[in-house]
Amino acid sequence: MITLRQLALATPPAGKADTSETIYQRFEREPECLLIPVVDDQHRPTGLIERNTFLLRLAKQYGRALFAARSVQIIMDTDPLVVEADTAPGDFASLALDGHSGQLLKGFIVVENGRYLGVGAAVDLLRAAATERLETASQLGELTESLKASHLEAERNRHFAEAVIEHIPSLVAVRSSNSGRFLLMNRASESILGVNRETFIGHRIDEIAPSRLMDQLRNADRLISQDAGTGRHRDLAYVRPSDNDHRVLRISQTPVDMPDGESLILTVADDLTDARRAQDRIQHLAHFDLLTALPNRALFQERLEMSLRQVDLARQRGALMDVAVLAVDLDRFKSVNDTLGHNAGDAVLRLVAERMKDVLRSDELASRLGGDEFAVLLCGEDVAETAKTVANRLTSVMSTPLELGDHSVSIGASIGIALYPQDADNAEELLKRADIALYRSKSEGKGVWRRFDATMHAELADRRSLENDLRRAVSNGDFKAHFQPILDLSQGRIVGFEALMRWPHERRGMVPPNDFIPLAEELGLINPMGEWMIRAACDAASLWPQDTSVAVNISAMQFKSPGLVSCIFQALSKSGLAPNRLELEVTETVLIDDEPEVLKCLRQLREIGVSIALDDFGTGFASLSYLQRFPFDKIKIDQSFTRGLPDSRAATSIISAVTALSAKLGLITTAEGVETEAQLQAVSRLGCTQAQGYLIGKATPHPEMLLRSATAGRLAAS
């Protein structure tokens, strides 16, 4: 006698395993199980949930990794359909259909004396109820006599067939064993097979057109007939005629002997395609980078570990195999993000990924580790030479400019190479050695590759020491403010100074700004350093003559800090410096990321009375457009143009055009990098308002001495 106990997909009893581990093992054991029970942390059933819904709601894109070893407390069905294990399937089906047909389609929980056993599915209930009714009919003598004895029972049978068979999401088909003709097919069969069910009813498989469909059905019938009556199922590939979509169907067949001697074949099929595609998508998200479609860090690490094991086994057999890791970092990528925006940066990363795939062989794995960091994994014989060849190909292809709409972008790539087992004895150390070699290649001019060697450890240790020293300097306030003079060309006198940060180190001497400013940005220290510089500049300028201003550079990272305006206001208030004597110098880097917020901040500073200067003018992609959109008071012409004076016609033409435009806009123009008398005369003749450079004066901690000297007057007279 069939009971519902046999239909329950039981889970391990309470107390045997952690709840989340139980579910994880269940997924591993039955990967295509559509419905799973949900239990609380006391292992009591609380409802049912469809498999992929569970994955998406609880694990999101990272799949099993997030719910492994975690407690599950979630109720997906607040009113589950519960039945005792000793209930007859037919009785339960009739009862459920009277008022719970919708819940029945989702499945049901089977209990014994109120204790959870497992979960059953509607399709299994269908089979069990049909078999039970046939057995009952046989015991009474004849099914027809049973139906005649109770018209109500016949109505229940009809209601059962219509409600369950017709609305169940699985394909259900019944055909005669003798004639092979289809007698019944439910509505779900049409969407699953992509064919109207009228094509089947009353026909055999070999009478169904078109021939392609007939061939598929005949092949499926042959395969699943081998499992008929065993309770097994088969997963078969199927091309749906309605849209030529390739599907995967799980099919089972059960022979049913009727009391009147007729034999039937009950076929049940589920479409697993969407579930498997969702699983594939989750798997892809867990192992591949969404932006570039390259393997991500997790997959790279997995393949690296596998390659090391292969090399170890090969070397035990006497084969000379090695592994090489190439750490690849893009040069000048930050400037693309800063000047053209993050969308352009993303486009660059996609183009870089395509170029990497173009120059690598199928057995050479490229991966994006994050940001603009990439890696290449090589494994085989003579890998050292292969790594050099690959590195040369990559540096060459990356040096070719990238076309981004109207812009041509030149980036390049620096590469560090490390080998296993020569340079490291495990995956983690191998990656570190490759990074160390990468650091050497970037420090030697970029666009090159370097192989790891032991001397690089000292360089890395020195960098780590510099990082620690910089953190300590920020904490202790070890910086000094130096000031470089700015000459007014029409008056022939110094009218202001640019404040520059200097770091006197007890062992290293005066550390160049190019060494510690980028490091400060990388370590997230630029904001406190910038605030210190603002306060120091205001304090120093408050002691100068009232007509002398001070300029301070503001980085893009400082503009992202919500406290910038407040910091400047407090520095002015505390020092007593008039706001119109403070000038803030910004570059395109500040403007590109978030123009509305930056514009708001600039306007707030202008309302205070602070002047705004556009620094390094002419070196970016869209300097002229910023003059129209942002409230600048001054533009500083980059020293790369001044350097060509007085001989360069191009530099002369550009500076002349800039000064003419600035005059019409009412802007001051400062020529940077003036180092010779000829350059000074040239910028004055071309219409520049001010000049700055070594000829005017180097940065000094004592600007008051320059203010008292006659140097400015001599320069103007000359």
pLDDT band at 144, cuts 50/70/90?
Answer: very low
Chain segment 387-421, per-residue pLDDT in tens: 999 999 999 999 998 888 878 888 899 999 999 99
Alpha-carbon span 499 to 540, nearest angstrom: 10
CATH of the domain spanning 169-276: 3.30.450.20
Question: Residue 415 has which token pair?
Answer: 């590469």
Chain segment 222-270, per-residue pLDDT in tens: 887 776 555 577 888 888 988 889 999 988 888 877 766 778 888 888 8
The residue-averaged pLDDT of 458-475 equals 87
Chain segment 491-550, per-residue pLDDT in tens: 999 999 999 999 999 999 999 998 899 889 888 899 999 999 999 999 999 999 999 999
Helices (H), 377-416: 383-399
Instruction: Count the Cβ atoms, other than its own, within 10 Å of residue 543.
Output: 11
| 133 contacts: CB under 8 Å, gap ≥ 6 | 90, 143, 157
pLDDT, residue 70, reads 35
Residue predicted with more confidence, 317 or 598? 317
- From 100-109, 267-276, 649-658, the region with the lowest mean pLDDT: 100-109
Ramachandran angles phi, psi of 244, nearest 5°: 60, 25
Alpha-carbon span 32 to 328, nearest angstrom: 41
Sequence ranges of the domains in the chain: 4-127, 169-276, 288-453, 477-717
The residue-averaged pLDDT of 53-82 equals 44
CATH class of 288-453: alpha beta
CATH 3.10.580.10 given to domain 4-127: yes
Residue predicted with more confidence, 4 or 568? 568
CATH 3.20.20.450 given to domain 477-717: yes
Question: Residue 321 has which token pair?
Answer: 């195999």
Chain segment 288-303, per-residue pLDDT in tens: 888 999 999 989 999 9
pLDDT band at 688, cuts 50/70/90?
Answer: very high
Chain segment 264-287, per-residue pLDDT in tens: 888 888 888 888 887 778 777 778
Percent of the chain with pLDDT over 70: 76
pLDDT, residue 61, reads 34
Percent composition of the chain: helix, strand, coil (DSSP 3-state, to 5): 50, 25, 30
Phi-psi region of 45 (alpha: psi -120 to 50; beta: other; left: phi over 0): beta
Residue predicted with more confidence, 490 or 210? 490
The residue-averaged pLDDT of 619-638 equals 74
The pTM of this model reads 0.50
- From 18-22, 468-472, 473-477, 519-523, the region with the lowest mean pLDDT: 18-22
pLDDT, residue 147, reads 40
| DSSP secondary structure letters along 617-679 | ETSSS-HHHHHHHS--SEEEE-HHHHTTTTT-HHHHHHHHHHHHHHHHHT-EEEE----SHHH
In contact, 612 and 553? CB cutoff 8 Å: no
